[in-house]
Copies of this chain bind each other. A is one copy, B any other.
Amino acid sequence: MGKRTIESEVKLFNRPKMEKPLLIEGLPGIGYVGKLAAEHLIEEFEAEKFGEINSPFFPHHVSIDSGILRPAKNEFYLADLEGKDVIILVGDVQATSSEGHYELANKVLDTAESFDVSRIFTLGGYATGQYSKSQPKVFGVVNHPELLEEYGSDGLVIREGTGPIIGISGLLLGLGSLRGINGVCLLGETHGMLVDHRSARSVLEALSSMLGFKVDLSKLEEHAKKTESILRRMRKVEKLRKRRKEREEEVSYIG
């Protein structure tokens, strides 16, 4: 019962061998774009979990799934992307306070540095209030001018203007730059109020083109189509409801 510091805890189950890995972050955020994209990579490349983070800076709740309760976590996976070692960071929450965000981002960077991380890619969404059925655009920002040249030829659309990026996707790159770790933040256009698999697909297309790997995106496309069919049905029901109401009003006028 000694003193317990209020501090996030990184637990590595093992220290897998990797060579100058990339770090890809996909924690929950706008439209769940980053989370969906990162989880898709984990599934497609059969990444293996090698560690997790528990933190007093997470929200004070637990999640339930089919009667099983589990604490909030962030998790580290290792994937082999066609010869490239990639650490993937996923999870069900971000920190609740500014202090917590900084502490967690620094713990993640500590861990990544201990594996000699070579570059960081953070994935997220960019709320537009509109749902794109075709091909959501992907914007990029980098944390070092060098990368603008390096990735410019990959058709990366650089986000114009100024403005903040909130949360871990921005902080990992901001604090990373203070440690000399370069990286890119890829933001997929998304509605903002809908879980958006299509935007996640766009983000992974941009990422795979930048990193030169291939990935089957059909499952994300399927999910996107399901979402759209649900949306269509909801709109149809709404339309019918309106029309019926109008007819009823006509009838009552006639009567």
Contacts and interface: CB of A to CB of B under 8 A. Distances in A.
A248 B170 CA distance: 50
A99 B167 CA distance: 18
Interface in A84-125: 95-103, 106-107, 110-111, 114
A163 B63 contact: yes
A57 interface: yes
Contacts of A99: 6, 56-57, 97, 100
Interface in A9-41: 10
Nearest to A94: B60
A174 interface: yes
B56 A141 contact: no
A128 interface: no
A177 interface: yes
What is the interface residue range for chain A against chain B?
35 or more
A188 interface: no
Contacts of A96: 98
Given A6-B102, A175-B71, A178-B54, A61 B140 contact: no
A201 to B, nearest CB: 23
B69 A142 contact: yes
Contact of A60 (B69, B102, B148): B102
A34 B10 CA distance: 33
Most B CB atoms within 10 A — which of A61, A110, A175, A177?
A61
B67 A159 contact: yes
- Of the listed residues A72, A110, A170, the one surrounded by the most CB atoms of chain B closer than 10 A to its CB is A170
A228 interface: no
14 contacts: A1-B110, A1-B111, A1-B114, A6-B99, A60-B102, A61-B166, A62-B174, A64-B159, A64-B161, A67-B160, A69-B142, A69-B165, A69-B173, A97-B98
Interface of A: 1, 3-7, 10, 54-72, 95-103, 106-107, 110-111, 114, 140-145, 148, 158-167, 170-171, 173-175, 177-178, 185
